[in-house]
Amino acid sequence: MNIAVVTFPGSNCDDDTVRALHALGASVIRLWYRDRDLGGIDGVILPGGFSYGDYLRGGALAAQAPVMEPLRHAVRERALPVLGICNGFQILTEAKLLPGALRPNRQGTFLSTWQHLRVTRASSLFWGLREGEYLRLPIAHGEGAYYLPPGQLASLFDRGQAWLQYVSFDGQLTAAANPNGSVANLAGVIAGSVAALMPHPERAMDAALGSADGVRLLTAWLEGIRRRSRDASS
């Protein structure tokens, strides 16, 4: 299984993401933002960072990078699994591969802290990650407040696209548990084969460093790809 990690000018979590994937036994292909040939890949991760220095707004310029054209085509034509992490989430909304937008944090400041999360809806993209399961992952962003117009929010939940929410340490969905002002405490969404989250699973790979829940999440994503490939070949 070959997973591509895309590097944009300003990416700073790409190496961490590659190391996390290697630790889980995945083969990794490094893609540069100018690449137009995705090759024989089974999935793509758009990592965190500050692509293009977050000029205009987070992800806006990266969404127009050359690599995004074949990525859009692969999602449309063969439902290529794509995972966006933090800045990758911003890029995917700017590219219209995910609904909504990421706005500046309500505090107007950069946030770097650990957060508790709840899986709002199970998805075959994350095999074995159950609805109602809890995760502890770090966040590090300045534009992480997910927004969707009120008229579209209900349908997001109805379609099962509301995937991950910020909760309190005891699992309660409260305003106080919302770190950045995201609508409905949303930390991650899904649309088709594309998923994204603001927290950083690649920074939660060892319990001794705060949490190993990133292992659970990335393993579930990789297993989803394995099962998809197996079903396609059977």
pLDDT digits over 126-149, tens only?
Answer: 999 999 999 999 999 999 999 999
List the pLDDT tens digit at each of the 234 positions of the chain.
899 999 999 999 999 999 999 999 999 999 999 999 998 899 999 999 999 999 999 999 999 999 999 999 999 999 999 999 999 999 999 999 999 999 999 999 999 999 999 999 999 999 999 999 999 999 999 999 999 998 899 999 999 999 999 999 999 999 999 999 999 999 999 999 999 999 999 999 999 999 999 999 999 999 999 998 887 776
The reply to whether 13 belongs to the active site is no
d(C-alpha 3, C-alpha 125), whole Å = 14
What domain count does the chain have?
Answer: 1
CA distance 75 to 73: 5
Annotated active-site residue in 13, 86, 116, 143 = 86
For the domain that residue 33 is a member of, what is the CATH number?
Answer: 3.40.50.880
Q: What distance in Å separates the CA atoms of residue 214 and residue 211, rounded to the nearest whole number?
A: 7
Is 223 annotated as catalytic? no
- Determine how β-strand 82-85 pairs with β-strand 194-197: parallel
Among the listed residues 13, 116, 141, 202, the single catalytic one is 202
The catalytic position among 94, 116, 143, 200 is 200
Note down the domain range covering 67: 2-233
Tell me if 119 sits within 8 A of 129, measured CB to CB.
yes
Hunting for tokens 């319990």 — which residue is that?
A: 207
Instruction: Based on the residue annotation, tell me whether 116 is a catalytic residue of this protein.
Output: no
- The vertex-143 CA angle with 141 and 148, nearest 5°, equals 130
What is the C-alpha to C-alpha distance for residues 193 and 195, in angstroms, rounded to an integer? Answer: 7
Cα gap 147→47, rounded to integer Å = 20
Amino acid in the structure at residue 168:
S
Q: Tokens in use for 53?
A: 């220095």
97 vs 183: CA distance, rounded Å: 19
**Cα–Cα distance for residue pair 77/69, rounded to 1 Å:** 12
Report the SS3 class of residue 88. Answer: helix
